[in-house]
A = this chain, B = another copy of it.
Amino acid sequence: MINRRWLIAENPLGRNLKVSDFLADTQPIPRPGPGEFIVRVDYFSLDPALKSHMENLASYAGPTTVGGLMPGGGAGEVIASEHSGYAVGDKVTGPFGWQNYACTDGTDVSRIPAGIACETALGVLGVTGKTAYCGFVEIGKPRPGDTVVISGAAGATGSVVGQIAKIAGCFVIGIAGGPEKCSRLVDEFGFDAVIDYKSEKVRSRLRAIAPDGIDVMFDNVGGDILNDCLARLRHDARVVICGAISRYNFDPRSPDMPEGPRNYFNLVHAHASMQGFILPDLERFHAEAERRLTVWLKGGRIREAVDIVEGFDCAPEGLMRLFEGRNFGKQLVRIAA
């Protein structure tokens, strides 16, 4: 038995990803030392931030190097253990990297509760769902009746934020690309309204759908979409900066980087705030997030959006799907058994 791995072949800073940024190799399956265990990785969890990790731009993550293992979260099953806390057969999630078998001492590993699927553990009950809950609830501070706008609404985080906003009693507007995503957000995920940024003018549509303005903007995109939303803030609005998919193919130091939001100064007229976060900053809310998301999921108040590509070989293409806007919801790679 061998361990197949995806290595970083090139640093993609300042440009689009390509398949040749990744290089597959094979290694013997590692053996666990004392206090370690081996996980057979069944799913890779894909996220736009992985590109930043490859570029060493994600200050919160460990450094990566060309020639090193491609980082990333995953889920699977313990197949060998010299660790007192984990036994063969345990299902776990953790930062296993893009490989079939990971050796770990348990750092940042979580056990998957009984009855929860790997897809769910990596999606609604994983980093994705916690990011949605903690960012929206703790930074966005929704109040019933608020008008909430979510960009990247058909993405992993956005689709969960919209459903939490409905539970919170808000009027929820999603911004997404293309008619299929938009109709699914309304029909399957309960959004009150959608804007197809590929065929509609965001600013004039916002004026029509939300004539009194925006109370909470949850931004995954940046660029013109963020700027158009800043033009429509209500007094005391909260702008939550979660991601900026429009920026990730540019070098932050390059003059080609899309410009910043000109309308930032509307924060003054609206007495509004714009705040960024990453999930570790909000660790004190993680357990609450997981508890509540579990209840909502079991109660049918939140549904999962999972987009799966099949097979270890497809991992690079799977990651590229995120930057092409091809995924609906959480993008996973399922590793063939």
Q: Which residues of B contact A275 (CB under 8 A)?
A: 267, 271-274
Nearest chain B CB to A235's CB is how many angstroms away?
Answer: 8
Interface flag for A270 (CB, 8 Å): yes
Chain B residues with Cβ below 8 Å from A261 are: 260-261, 264
Most B CB within 10 A of own CB, among A59, A227, A265: A265
How far apart sit A242 and B265, CA to CA, in the bound complex (Å)? 9
Task: Give, as a whole number of angstroms, the nearest-CB distance from A208 to chain B.
Answer: 19
Q: What 0/1 pattern do residues 254 to 270 of A give for CB contact below 8 A with B? A: 00011111111111111
A214 to B183, CA, bound (A): 44
Number of copies: 2
When C-beta atoms are compared, the residue in chain B nearest to A267 turns out to be B276
Q: Which residue of B lies closest to A236 (CB)?
A: B281
Which residues of chain B are within 8 angstroms of A269 by Cβ–Cβ distance? 59-60, 276, 278
Q: Tell me whether B227 and A265 are in contact (CB under 8 A).
A: no
Q: Mark A230-255, 1 if CB is under 8 A from B, else 0.
A: 00000100000111100100001000
- A268's closest neighbor in chain B, by CB? B276
Residue numbers in B under 8 Å from A257 (CB-CB) = 262
10 additional contacts, CB 8 Å, given A241-B264, A260-B264? A222-B265, A227-B260, A241-B267, A260-B260, A261-B264, A264-B264, A268-B277, A270-B276, A271-B276, A273-B274
